[in-house]
Amino acid sequence: MLKEFAQKWCHPDDLPQPVEPSTIADAERALGVVFPEDYKSAVIEDGLPHPTAALLDNLEQAGSEIHDLSDLLKPAEIAATTKDWRAAGLPSNLVIFGNDCMGNCFCFDENDLRAGPVPSSPIYFWDHDFDETKRIAPSFRDWIGSYLGSWSTGISYKDF
């Protein structure tokens, strides 16, 4: 699903950044969690995509309630970013793995990740301006799939 996301919303000259399993393991150790298998397998297999502004523009044109995805954090950035945002008000149970164009955060709940490997876990959106957290998808796969929904039929990174 992440590969399809990259093909649709990323410029072909800006390839997804490869992710080594060891960097994910380092982030897991630093936070004391185990990331969901659907997330890990997607980023290891397909890399971290860099969507263009076409995603945000087309979400707005479609009147979609979906939050834009500006960035998926590199595993090496996850622990430091999470700790920095916790000092600035991020709920202590959230683990940031991405953000939107306004700096709001896509997160996992560490309570879902402490028990060991899980196939998937819910995705949460934390709005830093209003200090509000909302569950937005039941899994990483479903969340990424929302960017490929019927609202996006016939459009791509070129449509901006």
What's the pLDDT tens digit per position in 64-96?
Answer: 999 999 999 999 999 999 999 999 999 999 999
What's the pLDDT tens digit per position in 100-134?
Answer: 999 999 999 999 998 889 999 999 999 999 999 99
**For residue 68, what are its two tokens?**
């834009």
User: 99 pairs with which residues across the strands?
Assistant: 71, 105
Q: What is d(CA 26, CA 75) in angstroms, rounded to the nearest whole number?
A: 8
Q: What is d(CA 93, CA 39) in angstroms, rounded to the nearest whole number?
A: 18
Q: What is d(CA 136, CA 139) in angstroms, rounded to the nearest whole number?
A: 9
136-154 average pLDDT score: 96
pLDDT interval class at 16 (50, 70, 90): very high
pLDDT at position 20: 97
pLDDT at position 88: 94
Q: Which residue has the tokens 């164009």?
A: 101
